[in-house]
């Protein structure tokens, strides 16, 4: 039976009965009329012909040829494959600033995943996890990437047709700098700020010329390690902007103007050097007065991490109090259910070019949120294609300690690569099969199946949440869990059974990939932690306390699992950040100790 390559091509025809001999000649034809990064691949008894317009098209044609050659029937099948991408830039962004900094081996594995998915751009999101000169106090406990690490990775990516892109935040999410005395004065609010009822330390720098020069110095230090003339300056979620030192200026000229004046100061030197500069569009996209101010070479990147289906489910099940809370924060509850169309509304109305950035839905979870990830990525591709977006940046964040193992994001990244290559041909691609056959090399078919099945347990809980799983929340903040985040008893029982089934099946897995044993071990750990979360939810009272008879057992199991969490972390990640990540379990442990005593 003829094989279908991954990602599925736009056009593939086959004829059985005859095909190229093992030593058939390969003829390469350069044709400028072929779409960028596209190709036509023809095999027959006469030989093999590859038609392409650029180096990327030739690379993808030969990768497709390799997949076809692997089939036993290649010599008796003739193929005619025509293909080209929907999006010119198909990116993946990996968060390495929420404690988990990958080892070189793990980074090399990610490059293999991206190459298989035809992703041609990798961004490593950094805050404090690069060894900036003169900033040792900021990064010394983080096991940061060094210039040698980046130059090694840059060369590896280049050899696989992947652009390595600097992604360095420059406005918000700067708390790792601002907590140090040398930088405390840079904060918009030196005493911190309150959001959603919780006080947090300073995270946003004052949008001043002095701070623009400071972050420019950080960029001047890190960017030369990348050969690609593109960078992402972040600038997302500046929670405190306009509430402290910049309040008067915001009152005079408007918050949007204050924001974009600063962002322009940061990006302009790089635009002048011919760089393309990405920035997150969450603030920009809320200010119509800014729509005509995007300088040439700057690209707003619209992010949205929950699918329209989940957004609608959350809105429809919300209590009046929750709806009121959203509205008090300026959220248009009605528009929430529109996904990327709502997020990009002003940009769409103004006709401003933008890129789309969905998410792998791995963060704030242990096993991922598969259904949401798939729907979110399809929504991003649909809206991007409708508006001729040239870039699609899938994202894997690590909020609150990056508890999820890397393999949880493998499937969503493969799916994101496939739908950003050709949406209509890959909406229903069998990712579990691709994981087993092409990435993890598991002849039993178990590991890929368990990764996808486990990623679906969040939806089975029946407690829809934005950007999080109840299983993660109960382990991180058991005393803060809202009523709508607590699944029904019957849902918890069903998920418990499914997790045990996944664990049982995983014992029969046999992946031959170099990291196969690591995948099985870290996935086993994530399943066990998730089952602990289920039983913690079952033993939790409405006031957030735990039943005294269940607490000692849960506490002992938690301590054992934390030891294994440390061991699994070190299989893939550098030691810096491990203590901070494990400390995120502290509130649960304290609550269990109180209940047990």
Per-residue model confidence as pLDDT tens digits over 111-167: 999 999 999 999 999 999 999 999 999 999 999 999 999 999 999 999 999 999 999
Nearest to 60 by CA among 424, 420, 421, 377: 421
Nearest to 100 by CA among 454, 582, 597: 582
Q: Which two tokens stand for residue 356?
A: 């789309």
Q: CA-to-CA distance for 323 and 568, rounded, in angstroms?
A: 40
Is-contact 421 90, C-beta < 8 A?
yes
Q: Which two tokens stand for residue 478?
A: 């058991």
Q: Which two tokens stand for residue 306?
A: 């929950």
Q: How confident is the model at residue 265 (pLDDT cuts 50, 70, 90)?
A: very high
Q: Taking the domains of the chain in order of start, what are their residue ranges?
A: 11-83, 89-304+339-429, 447-596
Selected catalytic residue, list 112, 190, 237, 557: 237
According to the CATH classification, is domain 89-304+339-429 in 3.40.50.2300?
A: no
Is-contact 409 392, C-beta < 8 A?
no
The verdict on whether 289 is a catalytic residue reads: no
Q: CA-to-CA distance for 84 and 381, rounded, in angstroms?
A: 15
Q: What are phi and psi of 51, to 5 degrees?
A: -110, 130
Q: CA-to-CA distance for 98 and 85, rounded, in angstroms?
A: 32
Mean local confidence (pLDDT), 544-562? 96
For 394-411, the pLDDT digits (tens) are 999 999 999 999 999 999
For 419-475, the pLDDT digits (tens) are 999 999 999 999 999 999 999 999 999 999 999 999 999 999 999 999 999 999 999
Mean local confidence (pLDDT), 209-226? 98
**pLDDT at position 544, please?**
85
300 forms bridges with which residues in the sheet? 279
Residues 6+ apart with CB under 8 A from 376: 304, 305, 306, 307, 310, 339, 358, 359, 361
Query: H/E element holding 52?
Result: strand 47-52
Q: How confident is the model at residue 337 (pLDDT cuts 50, 70, 90)?
A: confident
For 307-327, the pLDDT digits (tens) are 999 999 998 888 887 788 777
Q: CA-to-CA distance for 320 and 317, rounded, in angstroms?
A: 10
Length in residues, the chain: 597
Nearest to 234 by CA among 199, 195, 263, 201: 263
Please provide the average confidence, as pLDDT, over all residues in the chain.
96
**CA dihedral defined by 11, 15, 18, 19, rounded to 10 degrees?**
0
DSSP state of 439: I
Residue 487 DSSP SS3: coil
pLDDT at residue 2 is higher than 80: no
Q: What are phi and psi of 595, to 5 degrees?
A: -65, -40
**pLDDT at position 547, please?**
95
Is-contact 90 387, C-beta < 8 A?
no
pLDDT at residue 584 is higher than 70: yes
Cα–Cα distance list, 208 to 189, 204, 241, 245 (Å): 13, 11, 11, 9
How many CA atoms within 13 Å lie on the side-chain side of 246?
27
Mean local confidence (pLDDT), 29-53? 98
**pLDDT at position 22, please?**
87
**pLDDT at position 195, please?**
84
Is-contact 414 427, C-beta < 8 A?
no
Q: Which two tokens stand for residue 82?
A: 């025509």
Sign of the alpha-carbon dihedral angle for 258, 329, 376, 498 = positive
For 495-548, the pLDDT digits (tens) are 999 999 999 999 999 999 999 999 999 999 999 999 999 999 999 998 889 999
Alpha carbon of residue 81 to chain centroid? 31
**pLDDT at position 1, please?**
67
Q: Which two tokens stand for residue 35?
A: 């779409």
How many CA atoms within 13 Å lie on the side-chain side of 461?
29
pLDDT at residue 336 is higher than 80: no
- Give 438: exposed, middle or buried? Use CB within 10 Å, 0-12, 13-18, 19+: middle
- Tokens 């932690």 label which residue? 529
Is-contact 122 94, C-beta < 8 A?
yes
Q: CA-to-CA distance for 270 and 297, rounded, in angstroms?
A: 9
pLDDT at residue 329 is higher than 70: no
Q: Has this prediction a pTM greater than 0.85?
A: yes
Mean local confidence (pLDDT), 542-563? 95
| Superfamily of structural domain 11-83 | Chitobiase/beta-hexosaminidase domain 2-like (3.30.379.10)
165 forms bridges with which residues in the sheet? 123
Q: CA-to-CA distance for 88 and 107, rounded, in angstroms?
A: 23
């Amino acid at each position: 039976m003829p094989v279908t390559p991954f990602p599925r091509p736009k056009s593939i025809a086959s004829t059985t009965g005859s095909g190229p001999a093992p030593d058939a000649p390969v003829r390469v034809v350069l044709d400028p009329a072929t779409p960028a990064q596209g190709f036509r691949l023809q095999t027959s008894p006469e030989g093999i012909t590859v038609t392409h317009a650029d180096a990327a098209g030739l690379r993808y044609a030969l990768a497709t040829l390799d997949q076809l050659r692997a089939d036993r029937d290649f010599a008796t099948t003739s193929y005619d494959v025509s293909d080209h991408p929907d999006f010119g830039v198909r990116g993946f962004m990996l968060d390495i600033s929420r404690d988990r900094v990958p080892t070189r081996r793990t980074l090399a594995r990610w490059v293999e995943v991206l190459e298989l998915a035809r992703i041609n751009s990798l961004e490593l999101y950094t805050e404090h996890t690069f060894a900036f000169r003169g900033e040792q106090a900021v990064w010394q406990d983080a096991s940061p990437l060094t210039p040698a690490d980046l130059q090694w990775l840059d060369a590896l990516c280049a050899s696989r047709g992947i652009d390595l892109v600097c992604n360095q935040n420059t406005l918000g999410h700067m708390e790792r700098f601002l907590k140090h005395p040398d930088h405390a004065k840079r904060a918009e609010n030196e005493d911190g700020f309150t959001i959603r009822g919780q006080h947090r330390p300073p995270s946003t720098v004052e949008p001043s010329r002095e701070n623009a020069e400071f972050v420019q110095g950080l960029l001047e230090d890190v960017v030369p390690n990348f050969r690609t003339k593109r960078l992402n300056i972040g600038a997302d979620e500046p929670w405190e902007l306009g509430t402290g030192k910049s309040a008067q200026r915001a009152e005079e000229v408007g918050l949007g103007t204050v924001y974009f004046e600063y962002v322009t100061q940061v990006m302009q030197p790089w635009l002048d050097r011919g760089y393309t500069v990405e920035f997150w569009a969450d603030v920009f996209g809320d200010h119509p007065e800014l729509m005509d101010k995007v300088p040439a070479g700057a690209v707003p990147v619209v992010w949205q991490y929950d699918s329209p289906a989940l957004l609608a489910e959350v809105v429809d099940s919300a209590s009046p109090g929750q709806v009121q809370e959203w509205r008090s924060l300026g959220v248009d509850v009605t528009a929430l259910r529109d996904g990327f169309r709502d997020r990009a509304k002003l940009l769409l109305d103004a006709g401003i070019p933008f890129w789309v950035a969905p998410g792998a839905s791995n963060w704030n979870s242990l096993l991922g949120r598969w259904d949401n990830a798939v729907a979110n990525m399809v929504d991003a591709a649909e809206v991007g294609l409708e508006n001729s977006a040239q870039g699609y940046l899938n994202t894997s964040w690590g909020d609150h300690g990056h508890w999820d193992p890397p393999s949880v994001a493998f499937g969503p990244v493969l799916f994101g690569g496939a739908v950003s290559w050709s949406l209509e041909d890959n909406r229903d691609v069998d990712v579990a099969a691709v994981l087993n056959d092409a990435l993890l090399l598991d002849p039993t078919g178990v590991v890929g199946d368990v990764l996808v099945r486990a990623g679906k347990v969040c939806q089975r809980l029946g407690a829809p949440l934005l950007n999080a799983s109840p299983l993660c929340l109960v382990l991180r903040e058991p005393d803060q869990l809202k009523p709508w985040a607590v699944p029904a008893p019957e849902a918890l029982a069903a998920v418990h059974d499914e997790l045990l089934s996944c664990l049982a099946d995983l014992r029969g897995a046999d992946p031959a990939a170099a990291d196969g044993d690591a995948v099985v071990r870290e996935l086993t750990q994530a399943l066990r932690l998730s089952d602990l979360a289920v039983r913690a939810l079952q033993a939790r009272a409405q006031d957030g306390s735990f039943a005294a008879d269940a607490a000692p057992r849960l506490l002992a199991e938690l301590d054992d699992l934390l030891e294994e969490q440390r061991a699994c972390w070190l299989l893939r990640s550098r030691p810096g950040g491990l203590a901070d990540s494990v400390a995120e379990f502290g509130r649960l442990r304290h609550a269990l100790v109180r209940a047990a005593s």
